[in-house]
Structure 1
Amino acid sequence: GGGAGIAACCDLRIGTETTRMGFPIARTLGNCLSMSNISRVVALVGPARTKDMIFKARLVEAQEALALGLLNEVVPDVETLQRRADETAKLVASHAPLTLEATKEAVRRIRRTLSREEGEDLILKAYMSEDFREGMDAFLNKRTPNWKGK
């Protein structure tokens, strides 16, 4: 889950054929993503697919992640991943920096990101709940949580 959130922050994402991504928090910890992370994921895959992944607490396999836009490219293994990431970084670094900067800023301006204040009530509700404490305890003790909606 944390890895998928970090990946959503990246401009380009490369994974291996064994990559699995998602946000299983509805089945594990019972918390919620930050408004920034929700905004990023919705911008990448849309609202319906975001809800599908989070509601079902499922991890998306590499080829589906590629089709959804969670990954830009899938390579066979970690060795290839490291080489491909290096090649991609060198390629992007060789391009006009002002074009890249303007593009990144334009996309940021077009995409509405919820502020921390706009979602603070949701964050507090999730993280201060009995369910979150139950989720943490269950996670740490490797057992299935008993959700109560409180």
Structure 2
Amino acid sequence: CRVPVIAAIAGACTGGGAGIAACCDIRIGTAATRIGFPIARTLGNCLSMSNISRLVSLIGPARTKDLIFKARLVEAPEALALGLLNEIVPDVETLQRRADETAKLVAGHAPITLEVTKEAVRRIRRTLSRDEGEDLILKAYMSEDFREGMDAFLNKRAPNFKGK
């Protein structure tokens, strides 16, 4: 997307939603916002190589592993400190207003500057291609653990992962 994208995040933002939020240029959350990738304790799958690359670029390799390995959701103040949020507002009503204000502010700036800055940052970040991680994606999604995770999720029970 050539133009800046602003995410207004209220409540829990997990898994795919957190991946989408990480794609955004500016992320504003409420005091109740929690962000994370609990896939290691829920579905037993994995993020795409693009999402892992993006997350590593955003918060670093150690923090990426910490979030995914521990399958934890971080509260808004920690998300702000990590760089998962750019700003915290008190509530949902304020969130929408602040997102609108931010969008108007950014939209009033030089479009070419915004576009080339986004592209420069994209070029600087090394993003793994889909092909570079296909073996990892297949390993996770074709595993017995993933089938168990899906069954457990759909039946609202704790999964019993076996590493197969």
| Pairwise TM-score range, normalised by the shorter structure | over 0.9
The secondary structure found in structure 1 opposite 2:35 is strand
In the TM superposition, structure 1's runs of 4+ consecutive aligned residues that sit over 6 Å from their partners are none
Residues in 1 aligned to 2:31 and 2:159: alpha-carbon distance in whole angstroms = 31
Matched residue type, 2:111:
P
**Counterpart selection for 1:42 from 56, 65, 77:** 56
Q: Quick check: which one's helix share is greater?
A: 1
**Post-superposition offset of 1:80:** 0.4
**Post-superposition offset of 1:142:** 1.0
**Counterpart selection for 2:70 from 47, 56, 60:** 56
Q: Deviations over 1:62-109 (max 9, x none)?
A: 000000000000000011000000000000000001111111011000
Q: How does 1:124-135 map to 2 (within 5 A)?
A: 124-135=138-149
- List runs of 5+ in structure 1 lacking aligned partners: none
- Could you tell me which residue of structure 1 aligns to residue 9 of structure 2? none
Q: Quick check: which one's strand share is greater?
A: 2
- List runs of 5+ in structure 2 lacking aligned partners: 1-14
Matched residue type, 1:147:
F
Tell me the C-alpha RMSD between the 2 structures: 0.5
| TM-score for the superposition, normalised by structure 2 | 0.91
